[in-house]
Amino acid sequence: MGLILTLVALAMSASLAATARADVYVPADFVPSIWSDKADYAPGELVTLSGSQWGAGEFVHIRVNDDAGSTWSRDVDVTADGAGAISDSFNLPDWFVAEYSVTATGASGSVARTTFTDGNVRISAVNGPVSVKETLYNGQNCSGPIKSGYPKNEMTTASVGVGSSESLTLEAPASGPNGRVFAKWTQPPNGNLAFEPADGKSRIICVAGFGNGSRDLTAVYT
């Protein structure tokens, strides 16, 4: 009987110790952070950055930089609120950049980082979605070296970036949901995105690169 009571006491002690450990302050749980409200934006779109776990009233310097060509950057100082939260909002430049890095540096020396992209060709599908094969080229006319990370497949709810010196092939699948068949690629009536074949009736089209703004392309399934 004494042995049983001893074992029960040890088990209770271990349980209490485990509970106590769960409540112990762990510095890694309170690391300052920063993030964007979206992973990908259109050129010129509004970006909102948010952060948490900074010191109350801490001054934080935020630098947003174009990682591709260093053609655009933003530097701003913000102050964390009483809960340690920070925020900053701004519009991206109207031209395509590709990828941005964000670095937040606090007066305490703490650093937090994140990244986001700005795709300038938005892809959708009528009677979709479907998975589209994308191949990005360093040169015009969908020829020349293929950029790193391509080809890849994206759903027609995503966007892809193509610079003015680049070109892009989009390959739509022959069939879509519920047995629907590919009909054509199309763009809004006032759209000015250049692609070949121009009638859009081929599943594979070559999109010419451009520098400013964003464009919309839709794969139609009937």
Helices (H), 58-167: none
Helices (H) and strands (E) in the chain, counts: 1, 16
Q: Are 74 and 88 in contact (CB under 8 A)?
A: no
Higher-confidence residue of 96 and 120: namely 120
Mean pLDDT of the chain: 86
Residue 63 above 90 pLDDT? yes
The pLDDT tens digits of the residues spanning 91-110 come to 998 877 778 999 999 999 99
Is residue 214 pLDDT above 90, yes or no? Answer: no
Q: What is the pTM of this model?
A: 0.68
Instruction: Show the tokens assigned to 6.
Output: 């001893």
pLDDT confidence band for 69 (50 / 70 / 90) = low
CB–CB of 121/162 below 8 Å? yes
Residue range 31-118 forms a domain whose CATH class is mainly beta
pLDDT per residue over 166-195, tens digit each? 999 999 999 998 899 999 999 998 888 889
